[in-house]
Amino acid sequence: MVRKSRGIRAKTRKKLAQKPGYRPTITKFLQEFKEGQRVIINPEPSSHSGMPHHRFKGKIGKVIERRGKSYIVEIIDGNKVKKVISKPEHLKAV
């Protein structure tokens, strides 16, 4: 038998699919957020670097700090507080 793939984008055929003719704007990649600002995690399928895990898609969190070009976002997953590292193109202001 063939071994099952367990890559970072496994089981995301529809979750991370782009719409036909969709092209992201450059402002999405250059947007900035302030500490304490609330954001939604919305992965940009065309940019693979700095993409958070697809289980966090749609989660609302708070920006804790900026680390290099990325942001640390604090979210609540069940009863646990988690920190997610993400680039700005995968975040959307609330």
Reduced to 3 states (helix: H, G, I; strand: E, B; else coil), residue 36 is: coil
pLDDT at res. 72: 99
Domain of residue 66, residue span: 26-93
| 4 inside domain | no
| 1 inside domain | no
CATH code for the domain of 88: 2.30.30.70
Mean pLDDT of 77-81: 96
Closest CA to 76 of 54, 58, 61: 61
| 6 inside domain | no
| 42 inside domain | yes
Contacts of 94 (CB under 8 A, 6+ apart): 38, 39, 40, 60
| 16 inside domain | no
User: Which value, to the nearest 10 degrees, does the dihedral of the CA atoms of residues 84, 86, 90, 94 take?
Assistant: 60
| 61 inside domain | yes
Give me the number of domains the chain comprises.
1
Q: Which residues pair with 41 in a beta bridge?
A: 91
| 32 inside domain | yes
Closest CA to 32 of 64, 71, 72, 84: 71
Q: How far apart are CA 82 and CA 59, in angstroms?
A: 11
| 18 inside domain | no
Percent of the chain clearing pLDDT 90 (strictly above): 84
Mean pLDDT of 5-29: 91
